[in-house]
Amino acid sequence: MPSTCPKCRQVVPEDIVCCAGIEYAWKCVTCHKVSTGFAIPFGTCFLCGGKLELVQGHDFEDPMKIRPIRDAVQFELNAYHFYRLALTKVTKPLLRSIFEQLYEHEVDHLHTLQERYHTHLDDDVLNLRPDAEALLADEVFRGIDLADQQGGALALYNKAIEMERRTRDHFRKLSSELPDGPEKEVCLELAAEEEEHVALLETEMG
């Protein structure tokens, strides 16, 4: 029988899907984890078991003037370059496979930031000049013996976990300092996102 499209509100005939690309976003009211997809989920938050509610997203005139978003972009870029450079140093097949997965996750996280908060990153921040990349590599691998394939890779992995925990704690602290409002909500969302990253890394470590 005919139905109404939830996006464009037009009546469509039976067996016809209108605006099939509609994507929903929902947030856990307990841990503030935001997820997106093409269907509204039943049940509870996969991260903490809390109740889910539909959200419409945030509409900031200039997202990069919002500190939590600006910080998130910088942290994700740092992680993106960390994993990208680490891939050039890890040679053991299993560890390399793990770092490739982590790198792909970071690419997805950057895309999520752009879609959710409407940030726009230029190619020059993703593709560094050789001199800038060399300086960053010196900093990233400082104190890590990359000649030791097993120990060096493990040190890189521990540094990745430390980096994700530090990012999570930053947003938790910042959210506690902000008054109720959109910026605080963004902070809580970002902290929940980083908690998922930490859980992923700790699971892989196990």
Concatenated DSSP letters of the chain: --EE-TTT--EE-TT--SSTT--EEEEETTT--EEEESSPPPS--TTT-PPEEE------SSGGGSHHHHHHHHHHHHHHHHHHHHHTT--SHHHHHHHHHHHHHHHHHHHHHHHHH-----HHHHS--HHHHHHHHHHHTTT--TTSHHHHHHHHHHHHHHHHHHHHHHHHHHHHHSPSSHHHHHHHHHHHHHHHHHHHHHHHH-
**If we measure between CA atoms, which residue out of 27, 45, 46, 44 comes closest to residue 36?**
27
What is residue 41's predicted lDDT score, i.e. its pLDDT?
58
Q: For all residues of the chain together, what is the average pLDDT?
A: 78
In which band, very low, low, confident or very high, does the pLDDT at 165 lie, cut at 50, 70 and 90? very high
34 has which bridge partners?
A: 27
Amino acid letter, 180: D
Chain segment 125-135, per-residue pLDDT in tens: 778 888 888 88
Beta bridge partners of 52: 28
Q: What is the pLDDT of residues 65-94, one digit of tens each?
A: 888 888 998 898 888 888 888 888 777 787
Q: Which position has the higher pLDDT, 141 or 11?
A: 141
| pLDDT band, residue 173 (cuts 50/70/90) | very high
Amino acid letter, 95 = L
Residue 150 CA to its chain's centroid (Å): 28
Angle at 26 between CA 24 and CA 28, to 5 degrees: 170
What are the domain boundaries of the chain? 1-56, 63-205
Q: Which fold has domain 63-205?
A: Ferritin (1.20.1260)
Confidence of residue 177 (pLDDT cuts 50, 70, 90): very high
Mean pLDDT of 135-157: 80
Which residues are within 8 A (CB) of 138 and not within 5 positions of it... i.e. 6 or more apart? Answer: none
Burial of 148 (C-beta count, 10 Å sphere; 0-12/13-18/19+): exposed
